[in-house]
Amino acid sequence: MIFFARTRFCFSALALLFLASFADAANIQSVRLWRAPDNTRLVFDLSGPVEHKLVNLPGEKGLAQRIVITLPDSQFNADASKVNIANTPLANFSIDKNGKELQLVIDLSTRVKPKSFLLPANNQYGDRLVLDLFDEDSVNETKIVKPASNGMRDVVIAID
């Protein structure tokens, strides 16, 4: 009886390890990109949830910045040539496979503040990895209000 319980435990532990190895694996099925007035958003549609790591690097050869997103045990099944980077801070978008890791390499022509997060599947879309690139100019903008020359200032009263 003890042998049977021990065997069942070992089998359960192996099954959990096997399933855990596939928990991080996902395929990128498509890429969407759009430009807003103060940021650029890249959305990677995934076949399932995936862990990722974002590394923000200084640019090389005249580029302002490089962002590398690493996804373990993943595949890129989208068409990277269909990603239109015109009128965005993106200078180049490429995919590298390093062993079992997939690396999304984004070279930028201007400095940005990157932020990445995962969105779970909903009724319209599957799992997604979202990369927001906030323009550094708009992040650093501060509005300086100078007092009027007569020492008075405008006061706005709003009643809601």
CA nearest neighbour of 76 among 37, 124, 15, 25: 25
Question: What number of residues does the chain have?
Answer: 160
Q: What is the mean pLDDT of the chain?
A: 82
With a CB cutoff of 8 Å and minimum separation 6, the contacts of 68 are 54, 55, 57, 103, 104, 105, 106
pLDDT in tens, 42-93: 999 999 999 999 999 998 888 899 999 999 999 999 988 888 899 999 999 9
Amino acid at 129: L
Interatomic CA distance for residues 115 and 95, integer angstroms: 19
* The token pair that represents 95 in the structure block: 């995919």
With a CB cutoff of 8 Å and minimum separation 6, the contacts of 56 are 65, 66, 67, 114
Structure confidence at residue 157 (pLDDT): 83
